[in-house]
């Protein structure tokens, strides 16, 4: 029996714990979380993440999850919260250097849909509902927001500034998370 799990012989109980994302691969549809208290890796399936309203999560992000022991090991059954990796803060891009972080936080979250995002190139674009121009999304902003990747058509909420080269996202969150 795994330490920390209360198991009666009729059903497995779930427990809440905090852990750090070891890695998550949206293409493979899963990843693993390491509990703060130690122990074996915890499987995090893409469907559990989607139920939280995200299609990806950044490596190193801190997650608050409900975990259930199964015959195959510990598995996350619900994501309760996600905090970006340490040191991610507001991405330090040239366009943001002169901005006050409090001013950025005061900007409204705007509903948008991802046009495309290329992790290898390190950027992508989204369209804010009701506006014609694209919003640039840098991979560092994505990571600072606790995300690892974006899928075309994905609904997100963005804080947007007018940068030197046009509109730029300063923060991104899943639409479901913004609606909470």
pLDDT at 163 over 90: no
Average pLDDT, the chain: 84
pLDDT score recorded for residue 68: 94
Going from the N-terminus, what domains does the chain have, and what CATH number goes with each? 14-83 (2.40.50.140), 94-179 (2.40.50.140)
pLDDT at 45 over 70: yes
- Over residues 79-95, the mean pLDDT reads 70
Q: How far apart are CA 31 and CA 81, in angstroms?
A: 16
pLDDT score recorded for residue 93: 65
Q: How far apart are CA 132 and CA 127, in angstroms?
A: 7
pLDDT score recorded for residue 88: 55
pLDDT score recorded for residue 5: 46
Residue 103: strand, helix, or coil: helix
Distance of CA 29 to the CA centre of its chain: 14
pLDDT score recorded for residue 10: 38
Digit-coded pLDDT (tens) for 96-110? 777 787 888 888 999
- Over residues 123-144, the mean pLDDT reads 91
Q: What's the CA angle centered on 172, arms 166 and 176, to 5 degrees?
A: 135
Residue 172's closest CA among 133, 151, 144, 152?
A: 144
Confidence label for 134 from pLDDT (cuts 50, 70 and 90): very high
Is this model's pTM higher than 0.75 or not? no
Specify the higher pLDDT residue, 164 or 89. 164
Q: How far apart are CA 25 and CA 119, in angstroms?
A: 12
pLDDT score recorded for residue 6: 43
pLDDT score recorded for residue 124: 94
Q: Are strands 62-70 and 14-25 parallel, antiparallel or unpaired?
A: antiparallel
pLDDT at 127 over 80: yes
């Amino acid at each position: 029996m795994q330490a920390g799990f209360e198991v009666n012989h009729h059903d497995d109980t779930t427990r809440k714990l905090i852990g750090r994302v070891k890695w998550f691969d949206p293409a493979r549809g899963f990843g693993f979380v390491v509990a703060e208290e130690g122990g074996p890796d915890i499987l995090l399936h893409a469907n559990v993440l989607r139920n939280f309203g995200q299609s990806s999560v950044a490596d190193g992000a801190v997650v608050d999850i409900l975990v259930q022991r199964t015959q195959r090991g510990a598995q996350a059954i619900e994501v309760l919260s996600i905090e970006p990796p340490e040191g991610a803060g507001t991405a330090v891009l040239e366009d943001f250097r002169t901005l006050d972080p409090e001013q950025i936080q005061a900007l409204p979250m705007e509903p948008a849909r991802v046009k495309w995002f290329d992790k290898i190139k390190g950027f992508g674009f989204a369209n804010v509902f009701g506006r014609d121009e694209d919003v640039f999304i840098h991979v560092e902003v994505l990571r600072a927001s606790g995300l690892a990747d974006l899928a075309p058509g994905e609904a997100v909420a963005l804080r947007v500034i007018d940068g030197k080269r046009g509109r730029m996202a300063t923060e991104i969150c899943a639409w479901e998370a913004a609606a909470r």
